[in-house]
Amino acid sequence: MTTFRIAPSILSADFARLGEEVRNVVAAGADIIHFDVMDNHYVPNLTVGPLVCQAIRPHVQVPIDVHLMVKPVDRIIPDFAKAGANIITFHPEASDHIDRSLQLIRDHGCKAGLVFNPATPLSYLEHVMDKVDMILIMSVNPGFGGQSFIPQALKKIEQARRLIDESGRDIMLEVDGGIKVENIAAAAKAGADTFVAGSAIFGQPDYKAVIDAMRTQLAAV
């Protein structure tokens, strides 16, 4: 049986109360905290860095999944590992040496992953599948929360699921962007097992009600 994980994205949280926000969302049933890092270079938005990751680390026991939307990637990896990240993912287009970046993340004791924008081919995986612990399929173009799910992502999730099954490895398949109660089951049916949701959770007053509703949808898959 598939283990489904719900990973609220801090991008839609109240940054003035971030410690309280991550505590509340974990108490509401979140399995992972998704930590979006944007540099105003690789993506046209700017968020937070390792200091903020370090600041929230004592507030939660669940894994922190750091999604690097930065270029270059390598020089910031050790800082996030030291700040308490458990999973670090990056976009293959943002790294000059994908294999080296994956190895660097693993050498720092974290799980490593690659992120695929809507128009980025999965072929980047071909020679590095043995070093990947997570594949993250973007169902929006990265940079902002609150965008609409791009339905073509479902086909890519199916393709990624086939590659994972062929590899025989235990690789998490995460989807990110526009995930709501209404479409989470479709993403799960396509093969995703980890679901990032920002505005759908932090945009509602009752985090537990949303996460429970998502789990109800997942239980029927």
Ligand X SMILES: O=C(CO)[C@@H](O)[C@H](O)COP(=O)(O)O
Which residues belong to the annotated binding site for a divalent metal cation?
Answer: 34, 36, 67, 176
Which strands form 194-197's sheet, in the order they lie side by side?
5-8, 194-197, 172-176, 134-138, 111-116, 87-90, 64-69, 33-38
Instruction: Specify the stretch interacting with ligand X by CB under 6 A; choose among 140-148, 151-159, 163-171, 183-191.
Output: 140-148
Please give the structure tokens belonging to residue 18: 């971030």
Q: Figure out which of the listed residues 86, 103, 199, 204 binds ligand X, where binding follows CB under 6 A.
A: 199
Q: Figure out which of the listed residues 47, 153, 198, 210 binds ligand X, where binding follows CB under 6 A.
A: 198
Please give the structure tokens belonging to residue 6: 């719900």
Residue 162 CA to residue 122 CA, distance in Å, equals 11
Smallest separation, CB 158 to ligand X (Å):
21
Smallest separation, CB 165 to ligand X (Å):
26
Task: Determine, following the binding rule CB under 6 A, whether residue 179 of this chain makes contact with ligand X.
Answer: yes
Q: What is the DSSP secondary structure assignment for residue 154, as one 8-state letter?
A: H
- Annotated active-site positions, please? 36, 176
Residue 148 CA to residue 165 CA, distance in Å, equals 29
Task: Determine, following the binding rule CB under 6 A, whether residue 44 of this chain makes contact with ligand X.
Answer: no
| Footprint of ligand X (CB under 6 A) | 9, 11-12, 34, 36, 67, 140, 142-147, 176-179, 196-200
